[in-house]
Structure 1
Amino acid sequence: MNKLRFNRSLCYGAIVASLLVSGCTLGPDFKAPGHSELLTYMGTKAPLEQQQVSAAERGWKEIYQDLHLQNLIEKALKNNLDLRIAQSKVQAALANQTISDSALWPSLNLQPTFEREEGLDSSPANSYEFKGYFAWELDLFGANRRASEAALADLMATQQAAYAMQLSLIAQVASQFYQLKEIEQQLEITENTLEIRQNELRLARIRKEGGVISGLEQKQAEVEVESTKATIAPLLLAEHKAKTQLRLLVGDADTDVSGGNDIFAQVLIKNLEPNMPAELLKRRPDVQQALKEWESATAQIGVAKADLFPKLSLTGELGTESSDIGDLLSGGNVVWMLGLDVFQPLFNAGKNRANLSAKEELAYQAGLNYQKVVLQALKEVSDEMRAFQSSSDNFEAQRSLVMSTREYFRLAQLRYRNGVSSSLDLMDAQRQLFSAEKALASAQLQRLESMTRLYRALAGGWYATTPVNEKELQPKTKEVLSS
C-alpha cells in the first residue's frame, strides 16, 4: 500500500525551487584586513620595507643554544599541562566544526518497530515496521553555511590560541632557566666572597694577637663574615623555588633541571630588530586568533539574519509495514512518504531582530578587539626593543664597574696587609665588589630575559620548520672577565 502525504508535483517543485535559491547567503562576507589596513591600525601610513632577515625568523633552537635548555623546552612542549589542555581544545573545536558541517547534509536513520495493540472491541494485534527516515533542512538563506564558516573560524582561532600558548611556554621555560642560572651565579659570588672574608678574619685575628689592630677591627671582620652568611639561606630558597617552577613548566616533577652553562656563557642574539613590523606582527598567534574571532563573529550575523526568514525541511520515509513478521519484507507491503515542512516565525516579541542586533554588535566588538590586539603587539615590540638595548647598555656599565671595583679591592687589600690603611677601607672595597658582581649577574639576567621577551613579541620560534645545523647549537666559549 502506497501512502502519499503531499502532492508529488508540489514536493518536486519545492526541491527545484530550493536548489535555485541555494546560493543565497545572508550577512556580510568577511574580508581580512590587508597590509595597508594593518599599517593604519599601527598608526603609520609609510610602507615598512624589509632590509635583512631578522633573528625572529629563526627557530628557537638557534636562539636558545644551551643544550640543557633545549632539552627542557622539548620536554615542556611534550608534557606541559596547559599546552596539552590547549591542544585538547583544538580537538574539541574540530569536533564542533564537524557537528556544524553536518547540518549541510541530509540525515538518514533506520528504525525497526514492533507494536502490539488491543482495542476495546478488538483482539490483540501485532504490527511490524522496518523503515528508513530521511530529513534535510534546505539552506535557503545560508544559515547553515554561515554557521559552518563560524565553526571553522572558531577552530582556527583555537589553533592560534594553542600556538600562542606554545610560544609563551618556550619563553617561560627559557626565562625561568635563566633565573635559575642567575641565582646559581649569585650563590657562587656569595660563597667566593665568604671565603675571602673568612681569610681576612683569620688574618685580623692574627694581627689582633700581635697587637697590630684593635678588637674593634676584628669584630668588624666578624660582622662582614656573618652578614655574608646571612645572604645564603634566601638564595638557597630562591634556587629551590626556581627549580620547582621549572619542573612545573616542564610538566615532570622528576626532571633534573640542574645543568647547562652558567649565566655568562649563555648566547645572546644581536640582530633581533624587526625590519618589517607589519608582517611580523600579522603572524603573531594572538593577532591571528583575534582575526579569526572577528571572522567567526561576522559569520554569526548571517546566521541571525537567516532566522528572520522561513526554514524549509524535506522529510521522508521508506520501508515496509505488516501485521505478520513473515510478510514484512514482501514487495506488497512497501510504504513511503515525502513531506515538506515550512517554518516561518511570525511573532516572538522581537527576539530574532534583537539577536541580529546583538550579533552585529559582537562582530563590531571583535573588529575593535582585533585593532586593540594589533596595537598591543606593536607596543610590546617597541617596548621590548628599547628594553633590549637598555639592558645591553646597563650590562656594559656594570661590567666596567666590576673592573674598577676589582682593582679597588686589590689595592685596598694590598695596603691593608702592608699596614698602610685600616680595615675600614678594605671592608668598604669588599662590599663594593660584592655588590658590583651581584649586580653584573642581574644585568646579564636582564639581557637574557629581554632577549626572550623580544623574541616572543616578534612571534619567533613556534612556526619555524627549517632544520637547524647542530654545530651552530653548541654553546660559545664562556665570557671571562679579567681579574
Structure 2
Amino acid sequence: MITRRPLRPLTIALLSSVALLGGCTGHPDDMAVVRPVTPQATWSAGNDGAAVWPQADWWQGFNTPELLALLAEARQANTDLARAALRLRQAQLREVQAGAALLPSLGASANVSRQQSGGWGDSTTPSQGRTSAGLGLSASYELDFWGRNRAAATAAQVNTEISRLDQETVALTVTADVANTYFQVLALRDRARNAEENLTLAQRVLAVVESRFRNGAATALDLAQQQASLVSQRAAIPSLRQQELDATLNLAVLLGRQPQDMAVAAGGLGGLGLPSTGVGVPADLLERRPDLKGAALALVSAGADIVAARAALYPSANINLSGNLSGSGLNSLVNAPTAAANLGLSLVQSIFDGGSRRAAVQIAEAQKLQLIETYRANILAAFSDVETARGAARNAETQRKLQEESVRLAREVFRLAETRYREGQVDLLTLLDAQRSLLSAQDSLTQTRLAELQAAVALYRALGGGWGPATAGVTPPAG
C-alpha cells in the first residue's frame, strides 16, 4: 500500500518561488532574422517579370536526353550528395536528442537477493535463508522555466533545416558541375574534329605544293613550310584528345562511376538547345537560393543559443519522483508488498564561476553579429553572381553570332586563297595564313558555344536553380 503524504511547507515555498521567477529570459530580438541588405527593385538590365524564375524542368531546354540521364544519376550516386544526406541525418538525430530534454525521463529497476546463514560445514545445524525482492520506478523532469531546453530544441530544429538547405546547395552545385563537364567533353570533341578537318585541308594543300614543286612552280622552302605546318597541326590533336579524356574522367567522378565505365554518347555541341532563363525581382532571390535561406536560419539558431546562454545564469529546477515495492520473496512481492514513494524538488544555482556564464552570453551575442555580417556578405555575393552570370550569358550570345560570321568569312577566304594559289596568283604564305585563320575561327566558335552554355548554367545556379520559395519555417519559442 502506497502512503500519500501532503507537501511540506518548504516544498511549497520552493515551488512558488521558482514559479514567480519563471518567464522567458530571451529578448524578443534574439530570435529575429535581420536582413542587413535592402534589395534594389530591379537588376541593372531590368527584370523579366515579377514571378519569372527557372523551373525544375529547365534542363530539358538543352534538348539532350543524355544530359538529363546523367543529372538523374548524379543525384543518386554522387559522393558529395551522399555525404550531405548523412549530415542531414545526423542533424535530425541531434534534433531528437535536444527534444528529449523537454520530456520527463523514466527509469525502472528490479532486484532479487538471497541471504543464507548457519549450517556451513556442519550437517547437524539446519541452515536458514531469507529471500528479498524489490521493484522500483523513478522519474525526473527539469522545469524549463528559463527556456534553456526549449531554446536548445529550437536550435536543433533550425539546424536540421539548415542541413536540408545545405543538401540542396550541394545538389545545385553537383548538377551544375555535371552539366559544365558534359559540355566541356562535347566541346573538346568538336575542337578535335575541327583540328582533324583542318589537317585534311593541310594534306590537300601539301599535295598541291608537291605538285607545283615537281613542276618547278614552288620552291623547296614552300614544300618544307607546308610539311612543317602539317606536322604542327597533327601534333595539336593528341593534346585535345587528352583534355577530352580528362574531362570524361572528371564526369565519372561526379557520377560516382568507375573510370572504365564512363562513356559519353553525344559527338559534339551540335544540336544542343539553350533554355531561356527568366530573372524575377531581386528581393525574391533571398527566398530562392538555398544558401541564403540557410544563412538566414543560422541567425535564428544563433538567437536560440543566446537564449540558452542567458538561461544558464538562472537556477535549474528538477522534480524527482521514485517509488518501490519490496517483499520477503517473490510471492510476498506479488501478494503483500511493502510500498514506498519519494517526491523531491532540487534547485541549483551557481554562486561564483569567475564570469564564465556571462562570457558565454557575450560570446553567443558576438557569434550572431558575426553571422549577420556573413549573411550580408552572402547576399551581396549572390546579387553579384546574378549580375555577372546574366551579363556573361548576354555577351556570350553576341560573341557567338559574331564568331559564326567570322567562320563563314574565314572559310571563304581560304577557298579563294587555295584557288588562287593553284593558279599561281598568291604565294604559299597567303594560303597558310588563310588556313590558320580558319582553324582559329572554328576553334574560337566552339569555345564561344561552350561559354554560352556554361553561362546559362551559371545563371541558373546564381538564381537558386529550380527550387521554389521557402516552405513553412521554424517557429521560435515564445518569450
Which TM-score tier does this pair reach, normalised by the shorter chain? 0.7 to 0.9
Deviation of 1:424 after TM superposition, in Å, equals: 1.3
Rounded Cα–Cα distance in structure 2 between residues aligned with 1:395 and 1:326:
94
Note the C-alpha offset of 1:395: 1.5
Aligned 8 A contact 2:299 2:371 in 1 = yes
Query: Is residue 448 of structure 2 the alignment partner of residue 443 of structure 1?
Result: yes
Which residue number in structure 1 is paired with residue 219 of structure 2?
Answer: 214
Distance 1:27 1:202 in 2: 87
Unaligned segments of structure 1, at least 5 residues: 465-483
1:356 matched to 2:361? The reply is yes
Aligned partners of 2:61, 2:14: CA distance in 1, in Å? 64
1:269 aligned to 269, 275, 293, which one? 275
Q: Distance in 2 between matches of 1:279 and 1:203?
A: 64
TM-score normalised to the size of structure 1? 0.87
Unaligned 5+ segments in structure 2 are 118-127, 470-479
For 2:64, the equivalent position in structure 1 comes to: 66
Which of 457, 463, 472 does residue 452 from structure 1 map onto?
Answer: 457
SS of equivalent residue, structure 2 residue 344? strand
The answer (yes or no) to whether the contact 2:33–2:297 under 8 Å persists in 1 is no
Q: Is the 8 A contact 1:39 1:278 kept in 2?
A: no
After TM superposition, the score normalised by the length of structure 2 is 0.88
Deviation string, structure 1 residues 175-201 (Cα, Å, up to 9, x no partner): 001111110000100111111111221
1-side partners of 2:468 and 2:171: how far apart?
10
Amino acid paired to 2:374: N
Deviation at 1:19, TM superposition (A): 6.9
Give the aligned CA root-mean-square deviation in angstroms. Answer: 2.7
- 2: CA distance, partners of 1:171 / 1:328: 70
Percent identity over the alignment is 27
| Aligned equivalent of 1:247 | 252
For residues 435-454 of structure 1, the C-alpha deviation after alignment (integer angstroms, 9 at most, x for no partner) is 11001100111111111111
Separation in 1, partners of 2:426, 2:355:
92
Contact 2:49 2:279 in 1 (8 A): no
Provide the C-alpha distance between the structure 2 equivalents of 1:5 and 1:236, rounded to a whole number of angstroms. Answer: 89
1:15–1:394 distance in 2 versus 1, CA, 3 Å: same
Tell whether the 8 Å contact from 1:38 to 1:278 is kept in structure 2 after alignment.
no
Tell me what 1:111 maps to. 109
Confirm or deny that 1:432 pairs with 2:454: no
Q: 1:234 aligns with which of 235, 239, 243?
A: 239
Q: Distance in 2 between matches of 1:4 and 1:126?
A: 28
Counterpart CA distance in 1 for 2:18 and 2:305 is 22
Contact residue 36 and residue 375 of structure 2 kept, 8 A:
no
Q: 1:53 to 1:4 in 2, by over 3 A?
A: closer
> Judging changes above 3 Å, is the alpha-carbon distance between structure 1 residues 385 and 38 closer, same or farther for their aligned structure 2 residues?
farther
Q: Measure how far apart 1:372 and its partner are.
A: 1.4
How far 1:256 moved relative to its partner?
3.9
Structure 1 partner of 2:124: none
Q: State which of 66, 71, 76 in structure 1 corresponds to 2:74.
A: 76
Residue 476 of structure 1: aligned partner: none
Q: Could you report, residue by residue, the CA deviation over 1:65-99 in whole angstroms, capped at 9, with x for unpaired residues?
A: 31101100000001001001101111110111011
Determine the C-alpha separation between the residues in 2 that align with 1:252 and 1:154. 32
Q: Distance in 1 between matches of 2:147 and 2:341?
A: 29
Residues 193 and 299 of structure 1: is their aligned pair in 2 closer, same or farther, counting only changes over 3 Å? same
Judged with a 3 Å threshold, the aligned counterparts in structure 2 of structure 1 residues 12 and 113 are, in CA distance, closer, same or farther, namely: farther
Deviations 1:440-478 (A, max 9, x none): 1001111111111111000122449xxxxxxxxxxxxxx
Matched-pair contact (CA < 8 Å) for 1:194–1:229: yes
Find the residue that maps to 2:173 and give its secondary structure.
Answer: helix
Q: Secondary structure at the match of 1:327?
A: helix
1:203 Cα deviation after fit: 2.4
Aligned pairs for 1:162-311 (under 5 A) are 162-253=167-258, 255-260=261-266, 262-270=268-276, 272-311=277-316
Among 54, 57, 61, the residue aligned to 1:56: 54
The answer to whether the 8 Å contact 1:138/1:314 transfers is yes
Deviations 1:273-318 (A, max 9, x none): 5231110233201101111111101111010000010111011112
- 8 Å CA contact 2:326, 2:337 repeated in 1: no
Measured after TM superposition, the shift of residue 31 of structure 1 is: 2.8
Distance apart, 1:409 and its partner CA: 0.4
Q: Distance in 2 between matches of 1:354 and 1:38?
A: 26
Matched, 1:398 2:396: no
The number of residue pairs the alignment matches comes to: 455
Distance 2:51 2:27 in 1: 41
CA–CA distance in 1 between the matches of 2:301 and 2:105?
26
- Aligned partner of 2:143: which letter? L
